[in-house]
Amino acid sequence: MRLALAESERAALSGDVPVGAVVLDGAGVPLATGHNERELTGDPTAHAEVLAIRRAAERLGGWRLAECTLVVTLEPCTMCAGAITQSRVARVVYGARDEKAGAAGSLWDVVRDRRLNHRPEVIAGVLEKECAAVLTEFFRER
Protein backbone atom coordinates (compact mmCIF):
# COMPACT_ATOMS: atom_id res chain seq x y z
CA MET A 1 0.00 0.00 0.00
CA ARG A 2 2.91 2.35 0.60
CA LEU A 3 3.89 2.03 -3.06
CA ALA A 4 0.30 2.83 -4.06
CA LEU A 5 0.35 5.87 -1.78
CA ALA A 6 3.53 7.07 -3.49
CA GLU A 7 1.75 6.69 -6.84
CA SER A 8 -1.18 8.74 -5.54
CA GLU A 9 1.18 11.65 -4.92
CA ARG A 10 2.16 11.58 -8.61
CA ALA A 11 -1.51 11.99 -9.57
CA ALA A 12 -1.91 15.10 -7.45
CA LEU A 13 1.05 16.76 -9.21
CA SER A 14 -0.99 16.90 -12.42
CA GLY A 15 -4.19 18.00 -10.70
CA ASP A 16 -5.71 14.54 -10.72
CA VAL A 17 -7.51 13.04 -7.73
CA PRO A 18 -4.68 11.36 -5.78
CA VAL A 19 -5.37 7.67 -6.23
CA GLY A 20 -2.57 5.18 -6.76
CA ALA A 21 -2.54 1.50 -7.63
CA VAL A 22 -0.07 -1.36 -7.86
CA VAL A 23 -0.47 -4.82 -9.38
CA LEU A 24 1.56 -7.53 -7.64
CA ASP A 25 2.34 -10.94 -9.09
CA GLY A 26 1.60 -14.16 -7.21
CA ALA A 27 4.83 -13.83 -5.23
CA GLY A 28 4.03 -10.24 -4.20
CA VAL A 29 6.49 -8.62 -6.61
CA PRO A 30 5.25 -5.38 -8.19
CA LEU A 31 4.42 -5.82 -11.90
CA ALA A 32 2.93 -2.43 -12.68
CA THR A 33 1.80 0.82 -11.12
CA GLY A 34 -0.68 3.49 -12.03
CA HIS A 35 -2.17 6.70 -10.75
CA ASN A 36 -5.13 8.75 -11.89
CA GLU A 37 -4.38 10.54 -15.15
CA ARG A 38 -7.80 11.80 -16.26
CA GLU A 39 -6.86 15.46 -16.03
CA LEU A 40 -3.39 14.85 -17.44
CA THR A 41 -4.57 12.89 -20.49
CA GLY A 42 -8.21 13.92 -20.91
CA ASP A 43 -9.11 10.22 -20.84
CA PRO A 44 -12.14 9.47 -18.65
CA THR A 45 -11.01 5.86 -18.24
CA ALA A 46 -7.53 6.79 -16.96
CA HIS A 47 -8.16 5.64 -13.40
CA ALA A 48 -5.22 4.29 -11.41
CA GLU A 49 -6.62 0.75 -11.36
CA VAL A 50 -7.31 0.58 -15.10
CA LEU A 51 -3.85 1.90 -15.96
CA ALA A 52 -2.11 -0.51 -13.57
CA ILE A 53 -4.15 -3.45 -14.91
CA ARG A 54 -3.34 -2.52 -18.52
CA ARG A 55 0.37 -2.23 -17.76
CA ALA A 56 0.44 -5.52 -15.83
CA ALA A 57 -1.31 -7.35 -18.69
CA GLU A 58 1.15 -5.89 -21.16
CA ARG A 59 4.08 -6.95 -19.02
CA LEU A 60 2.69 -10.49 -18.63
CA GLY A 61 1.75 -10.73 -22.29
CA GLY A 62 -1.90 -11.58 -21.68
CA TRP A 63 -5.10 -10.27 -20.16
CA ARG A 64 -5.58 -12.88 -17.43
CA LEU A 65 -4.17 -11.62 -14.12
CA ALA A 66 -5.40 -14.69 -12.25
CA GLU A 67 -2.58 -14.84 -9.69
CA CYS A 68 -2.28 -11.08 -9.23
CA THR A 69 -3.25 -8.71 -6.44
CA LEU A 70 -4.39 -5.16 -7.11
CA VAL A 71 -3.54 -2.72 -4.31
CA VAL A 72 -5.27 0.65 -4.54
CA THR A 73 -5.57 3.61 -2.18
CA LEU A 74 -9.30 4.15 -2.79
CA GLU A 75 -12.10 1.62 -3.15
CA PRO A 76 -12.64 0.91 -6.87
CA CYS A 77 -15.57 2.49 -8.73
CA THR A 78 -17.93 0.50 -10.97
CA MET A 79 -15.73 0.94 -14.05
CA CYS A 80 -12.65 -0.27 -12.22
CA ALA A 81 -14.60 -3.09 -10.58
CA GLY A 82 -15.57 -4.23 -14.07
CA ALA A 83 -11.94 -4.12 -15.20
CA ILE A 84 -10.92 -6.10 -12.11
CA THR A 85 -13.53 -8.75 -12.83
CA GLN A 86 -12.76 -8.94 -16.54
CA SER A 87 -9.01 -9.25 -15.95
CA ARG A 88 -9.52 -12.04 -13.39
CA VAL A 89 -7.48 -10.33 -10.68
CA ALA A 90 -7.33 -12.73 -7.73
CA ARG A 91 -7.36 -10.20 -4.91
CA VAL A 92 -8.17 -6.54 -4.37
CA VAL A 93 -6.66 -4.66 -1.43
CA TYR A 94 -7.83 -1.12 -0.88
CA GLY A 95 -7.31 1.64 1.64
CA ALA A 96 -10.07 4.24 1.92
CA ARG A 97 -13.74 3.44 1.45
CA ASP A 98 -15.66 5.43 -1.16
CA GLU A 99 -19.19 5.93 0.15
CA LYS A 100 -20.19 7.91 -2.98
CA ALA A 101 -18.91 5.61 -5.74
CA GLY A 102 -17.37 2.50 -4.19
CA ALA A 103 -18.07 -0.79 -5.95
CA ALA A 104 -16.22 -3.19 -3.66
CA GLY A 105 -18.58 -3.12 -0.71
CA SER A 106 -19.51 0.47 0.14
CA LEU A 107 -22.17 1.63 -2.31
CA TRP A 108 -22.18 -1.44 -4.56
CA ASP A 109 -20.37 -4.76 -4.42
CA VAL A 110 -19.72 -5.45 -8.09
CA VAL A 111 -16.53 -7.43 -7.51
CA ARG A 112 -18.31 -9.99 -5.32
CA ASP A 113 -21.60 -10.17 -7.22
CA ARG A 114 -22.52 -13.86 -7.38
CA ARG A 115 -24.02 -13.41 -10.84
CA LEU A 116 -20.56 -12.79 -12.28
CA ASN A 117 -18.20 -15.58 -13.25
CA HIS A 118 -15.22 -14.17 -11.34
CA ARG A 119 -15.15 -12.79 -7.82
CA PRO A 120 -11.81 -11.71 -6.35
CA GLU A 121 -11.02 -11.75 -2.67
CA VAL A 122 -11.41 -8.25 -1.19
CA ILE A 123 -9.37 -6.86 1.70
CA ALA A 124 -10.52 -3.41 2.77
CA GLY A 125 -9.15 -0.74 5.08
CA VAL A 126 -5.40 -1.25 4.68
CA LEU A 127 -3.72 1.99 5.82
CA GLU A 128 -7.21 3.46 5.58
CA LYS A 129 -6.47 6.61 7.60
CA GLU A 130 -3.38 7.45 5.55
CA CYS A 131 -5.16 6.85 2.26
CA ALA A 132 -8.19 8.92 3.32
CA ALA A 133 -5.98 11.76 4.57
CA VAL A 134 -4.33 12.16 1.14
CA LEU A 135 -7.75 12.54 -0.48
CA THR A 136 -9.13 14.83 2.22
CA GLU A 137 -6.13 17.15 1.95
CA PHE A 138 -6.39 17.25 -1.85
CA PHE A 139 -10.05 18.27 -1.79
CA ARG A 140 -9.53 20.72 1.10
CA GLU A 141 -6.95 22.57 -1.00
CA ARG A 142 -9.31 22.71 -4.00
Tell me which residues are annotated as active site: 49
Cα–Cα distance between 105 and 31 in angstroms, integer? 26
Q: What does the alpha-carbon distance between residue 16 and residue 62 come to, in Å, rounded to a whole number?
A: 29
**Nearest of 83, 95, 96, 36 to residue 56 by alpha carbon:** 83
